[in-house]
């Protein structure tokens, strides 16, 4: 059975981070549902690229996923963190011990501001680490601590997506190494810092 991943998008999300993640995780053989955290599937992105989601979060709210992912984007992460439905969805998946994957500003503005990274090692976009209540900032491209995978930003999107894919594809981790080689991506997995794994 394919592993399932929910990508949570709100108006103002960083489209480059989202699209790289969706592409690489689907290549790796996972079912990715792109969820708009609003009433419509049509989304406004950080740099005005036209993108629509597969479903709204409301349509898939009761489904449990193996992982959930949130890209950055200043306004997008503000919108995610301010949405009670998003926070309830994330907290439920934390309680179910699912993978929680946040890139760029989302570790700080979605998870950290709500105390969800307390006691965890994390990375986030530069200058945002002080928003994280009780977490331990690590300056790395990608940080894995328990069920949390955090990435620094757009330039680390490939490292982040490959790390999430490898965490999910426990049945065939060599497939993810092959995928990285297939797209001529170098420097991963050496770019990842692990804690409490």
The ranges assigned to domains in the chain are 4-195
What region does 164 belong to: left with phi over 0, alpha with psi -120 to 50, or beta? alpha
Task: Give the number of other CB atoms < 10 A from CB of residue 83.
Answer: 18
CATH class label, 4-195: alpha beta
Q: Hunting for tokens 């990508």 — which residue is that?
A: 7
Strand 142-145 and strand 148-151: the pairing is antiparallel
Task: Give the Cα separation of 122 and 112 in Å (integer).
Answer: 9
The answer to whether 37 is a known catalytic residue is no
From first to last of the 197 residues of the chain, give the pLDDT tens digit.
Answer: 899 999 999 999 999 999 999 999 999 999 999 999 999 999 999 998 989 999 999 999 999 999 999 999 999 999 999 999 999 999 999 999 999 999 999 999 999 999 999 999 999 999 999 999 999 999 999 999 999 999 999 999 999 999 999 999 999 989 999 999 999 999 999 999 999 86
Which pTM was predicted?
Answer: 0.97
Q: Hunting for tokens 């991963």 — which residue is that?
A: 188
For residue 55, which of 32, 87, 73 has the smallest C-alpha distance?
A: 32
């Amino acid at each position: 059975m394919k592993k399932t991943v929910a990508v949570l998008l709100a108006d103002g999300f960083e489209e480059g981070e989202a699209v790289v993640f969706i592409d690489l995780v689907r290549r790796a053989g996972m079912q990715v549902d792109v969820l708009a955290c609003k009433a419509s599937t049509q989304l406004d992105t950080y740099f005005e690229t036209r993108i629509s989601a597969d479903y709204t979060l409301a349509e898939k709210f009761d489904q449990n996923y193996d992982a959930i992912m949130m890209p950055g984007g200043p306004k997008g992460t503000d919108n995610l963190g301010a949405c009670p439905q998003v926070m309830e969805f994330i907290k439920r998946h934390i309680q179910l011990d699912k993978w929680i994957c946040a890139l760029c500003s989302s570790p700080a503005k979605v998870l950290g501001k709500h105390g969800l990274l307390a006691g965890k090692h994390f990375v986030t976009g530069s200058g945002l680490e002080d928003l994280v209540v009780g977490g331990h900032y690590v300056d790395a491209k990608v940080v894995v601590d328990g069920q949390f995978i955090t990435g620094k930003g757009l330039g680390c999107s490939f490292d982040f997506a490959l790390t999430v894919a490898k965490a999910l594809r426990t049945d065939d981790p060599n497939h993810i190494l092959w995928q990285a080689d297939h797209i001529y991506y170098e420097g991963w997995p050496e770019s990842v810092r692990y804690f409490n794994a």
